[in-house]
Structure 1
Amino acid sequence: MKLTVRVKLLPTPEQAQALRATLHACNEAANHVSATAFATGTTGNRELRATAYTHIKNTWRLGAQAAQHAIKKTSDAYAALKGNLKAGNLGRPGSKRHLAATGKPLRFRSDAAQPYDDRMLSWQTEPRTVSIWTTAGRMKHLAYTGREEHLQLLAEYRQGESDLQYRDGQWYLLATLDLPEPAPNPNPRAFIGVDLGIANIATTSTGHRHSGRRLNRTRHNDRKLRTRLQKKGTRSAKRRAKRHAGKEARRTRDINHKISKHIVAEAQRTGRGIALEALGGIRERARLKKPQRVTMNSWAFGQLAEFIAYKARRAGVPLVHVNPAYTSQECSRCHHIDRRNRPSQAVFTCRSCGFVEHADLNASHVIGHRGWWTWVRGAESQVPALTLIA
């Protein structure tokens, strides 16, 4: 399976200057290729290489591989734009959003990430240094660091391209790993159902509730601060809002990693699989009041589900996705479905058999049952290969 780990570079001021000049040159070249693609309507990698390769290589003093990667990056960006337009993610043709996306060439930030292959970048895993191409020449003995477990995986399983990234004043390399994937447990004894929600971010059928009460208060304060800074509109307010947005994203990612790690570890330890609701279109299906919509739309439920999926694959834990319809209204004992079974957010009371349970815990049991029957019928989930920053 594919994973991506991020390691932090430790350049000297002179090395950092060379790296920054390299990113600027590569992205200026990519912007020239983008303008050519927009003007000619040609976005294929091979066609753009024939028209732009020599010019950008000589103008911005790029190496052969760097010039080719700048062209491929541009071609891939236009392919992604075409896919989003086809899927309707950028509005209908003629709409303001659609015209904004298609009415001018794509632009790359001066410090946008740049891909490196093994001819441009070599790793020395024992001294933990890299030799990397720059517009000022080959830079050797550039130190890097990271979490020990990630560095061990990097030394053993690194394969393919790496991306040079500049973010918040720091330099990083995003390296691709190709990890061996263990065979999933062929005979799970049961399935842990996982109910995702707002009051409780995740509730498992084994009784663990990952409460969102304190987190929701923090997120509410974050929204108030973000609104206040947006209204102020000064340069310092915009800088503060940008820093705060990064902090929110890191907090969300950290919490989702911890929750997914706990769920997968429990399933692996007890010989069970994991059942999740198929959450595609959850925001469109859910009928919520405006404050609840804001809370739901601001949490990365998809990210949490992806983290559970890729950690389950690494651990050999079976994972299935089940139909989410009526999981909050179905009784986990007699399976009677009634809208009145849930008189409040936290309480489930079955109108048929009288069973009383916490609503989220009951829903997780229902999801677990559905997961078991999905597995028995042979419709186990085919989770695609995920590329995530570990």
Structure 2
Amino acid sequence: MDQAVTIKAKLLNIDDQTTHAFIKTMTAYRDACNFVSQYVFDHDFEFRFSQLNQALYHDLRDLFGLKSQMAQSVIRNVVARYKTIKTQLKQTPFRYNTGEKDAQGHAIWSQIPRDLTWLWRPVKFKRLQLDLQRNRDWSYLNTSSQLSLNTLMGRKKVDFVCKNFDQYLDASRWKFGSIKLLQFKNNWYIHLSATTSLSEYELKQTQHIVGIDRGLRFLAACYDEQGQTLLCSGQKVLRTRRKYKKLRAQLQAKGTKSAKRRLKKIGQRENRFISDVNHRLTKTLVNHYGPNTIFALEDLTNVRFATEKAAKKRRYEMVSWTFYQFEQFLAYKANLNSSTVVKVSPRFTSQRCPKCGRIRKENRNHELHLYICDKCGYKSNDDRLAAMNIQFLGDQYHKGVK
């Protein structure tokens, strides 16, 4: 099994000449991406690489002055973006009220699958960036510990800083891929992909089975095979996000140009905050339980919280936390730590009594966050109870039960 990671490094001592070369190359690269995107949009979303390469390769070289590998990287970048959007549209069909009601008087909703034809305009590439391929557009210089980056104005040797970068220089374990060059607040950064081969996880090596319930009050409620509970509070995160929400509302009320610029920065800052929380939380869980652990999560594919049942002031928090990002971070960190993540059915995980198996929705009190079984009298925090049921399903997976 191959596991890819992204290494983030900051470039140092970038002079004006190198900066000019970077900006000139990145601008040409971005304009070329928009050129290819317009072609894809005008030709019924034809984004097979071979077809685009045959039709646009020489245009990219002549119109934008790109080098051979850069021209192909442009096409790959556009193809990847349209494939991503195609998947996102497929996962989020258009829902509409039919105007009819069922026997209980509830509105009947229907949905229509979406594809790329729902796009009104071609995908727009706005941010300056540059993709460089290993051994063609960039290389690592062992003698000077520098990076050699290709631009339209020739090769540029740059210094960089990256904590624990030496571990990725082991060619027998890690293989470097492409580099993405970015600029942020007058500083230059690279995102370097690295891939390593890992042995497939075997169930017989399992030492721990942990059920994790994701939520807002507790970002992660964990329960293991020894009956130990670990609750990761989300109250501080909620307070921070509500602060951003309040500030966003104030700026939207102003509507000035400076307010709109401020809104954009706030959105980027909040996204970085969320990613940082998920990174630190997943790292803590992997280190706490150690290697040879099965982390069981609910499969939340196509599951969306019923926002119409939530208080209006909490709807934003309920639908915008990145539970999928948490799952991605936990999966790759677990793989690197000789562990694995499995997804189990979310059905009745918050309604089932872990002692007697009784399933009854009314046993859960949402306001008190308490579950009391009306059959055996078992009592527990509702988030902890969900984690117990998820852990049970993870144990069934370990035993081979379908």
Q: Could you say which residue in structure 2 is the equivalent of 1:145? A: 161
Count of residue correspondences: 373
Greater shift, 196-205 or 42-51, is seen at 42-51
Q: Could you say which residue in structure 2 is the equivalent of 1:245? A: 267
Q: Could you say which residue in structure 1 is the equivalent of 2:397? A: 374
> Any conservation in 2 of the 1:56–1:67 contact (CA below 8 Å)?
yes
Structure 1 pair 176/235, CA: closer, same or farther in 2 (3 Å)? same
Q: Could you say which residue in structure 2 is the equivalent of 1:317? A: 339
Residue 225 (structure 1) shift: 0.7
Q: Could you say which residue in structure 2 is the equivalent of 1:161? A: 178
Q: Could you say which residue in structure 2 is the equivalent of 1:53? A: 57
Q: Which amino acid aligns with 2:303?
A: I
So what's the TM-score if we normalise by structure 1?
Answer: 0.86
Gaps of 5+ in 2: 97-111
Within 1, Cα distance between the matches of 2:343 and 2:125?
Answer: 37
Q: Percent identity?
A: 28
The partner residue of 1:225 within 234, 247, 250 is 247
Greater shift, 4-13 or 35-44, is seen at 35-44
Provide, for residues 68-125 of structure 1, a one-character-per-residue CA deviation record: whole Å limited to 9, x for no partner: 2223323443444444555556889xx9x98996343333226144343421111125
Instruction: Say whether residues 1:29 and 2:47 are aligned partners.
Output: no
Greater shift, 119-128 or 324-333, is seen at 119-128
Instruction: Say whether residues 1:68 and 2:84 are aligned partners.
Output: no
Provide, for residues 39-93 of structure 1, a one-character-per-residue CA deviation record: whole Å limited to 9, x for no partner: 444543333333332233133222111122223323443444444555556889x
Within 2, Cα distance between the matches of 1:164 and 1:196?
Answer: 34
> Any conservation in 1 of the 2:129–2:180 contact (CA below 8 Å)?
no
Structure 1 pair 91/81, CA: closer, same or farther in 2 (3 Å)? farther
Greater shift, 128-137 or 161-170, is seen at 161-170
Structure 1 pair 106/305, CA: closer, same or farther in 2 (3 Å)? closer
Task: Name the SS of the counterpart of 1:56 in structure 2.
Answer: helix
Q: Which amino acid aligns with 2:158?
A: L
> How do 1:128-139 residues align onto structure 2 when only pairs under 5 Å count?
128-139=145-156
Task: Name the SS of the counterpart of 1:208 in structure 2.
Answer: strand
Within 2, Cα distance between the matches of 1:189 and 1:46?
Answer: 47
Q: Which amino acid aligns with 2:21?
A: A
> Any conservation in 1 of the 2:86–2:115 contact (CA below 8 Å)?
no
Task: Name the SS of the counterpart of 2:377 in structure 1.
Answer: coil
Task: Name the SS of the counterpart of 2:290 in structure 1.
Answer: helix
> Any conservation in 1 of the 2:32–2:74 contact (CA below 8 Å)?
yes
Greater shift, 155-164 or 359-368, is seen at 155-164
> Any conservation in 1 of the 2:248–2:263 contact (CA below 8 Å)?
yes
The partner residue of 2:19 within 16, 19, 22 is 16
Task: Name the SS of the counterpart of 2:125 in structure 1.
Answer: coil
Q: Which amino acid aligns with 1:323?
A: S
Within 2, Cα distance between the matches of 1:33 and 1:126?
Answer: 39
Gaps of 5+ in 1: 380-390
Residue 19 (structure 1) shift: 0.3
**Structure with a larger share of its residues in helix:** 1
Q: Which amino acid aligns with 1:330?
A: R
Within 2, Cα distance between the matches of 1:327 and 1:132?
Answer: 51
Greater shift, 222-231 or 287-296, is seen at 287-296
The partner residue of 1:267 within 266, 289, 292 is 289
Instruction: Say whether residues 1:180 and 2:194 are aligned partners.
Output: no
Within 2, Cα distance between the matches of 1:339 and 1:40?
Answer: 52
Residue 3 (structure 1) shift: 1.4
> How do 1:270-285 residues align onto structure 2 when only pairs under 5 Å count?
272-284=293-305
Task: Name the SS of the counterpart of 1:282 in structure 2.
Answer: coil
> Any conservation in 2 of the 1:159–1:178 contact (CA below 8 Å)?
yes
* Aligned CA-pair RMSD: 2.8
Within 1, Cα distance between the matches of 2:248 and 2:192?
Answer: 33
Task: Name the SS of the counterpart of 1:238 in structure 2.
Answer: helix
**Structure with a larger share of its residues in strand:** 2
Within 2, Cα distance between the matches of 1:227 and 1:99?
Answer: 32
> Any conservation in 1 of the 2:25–2:130 contact (CA below 8 Å)?
no
Instruction: Say whether residues 1:234 and 2:256 are aligned partners.
Output: yes
> Any conservation in 2 of the 1:267–1:317 contact (CA below 8 Å)?
no
Within 2, Cα distance between the matches of 1:330 and 1:142?
Answer: 58
Structure 1 pair 357/189, CA: closer, same or farther in 2 (3 Å)? same
Within 1, Cα distance between the matches of 2:235 and 2:162?
Answer: 32
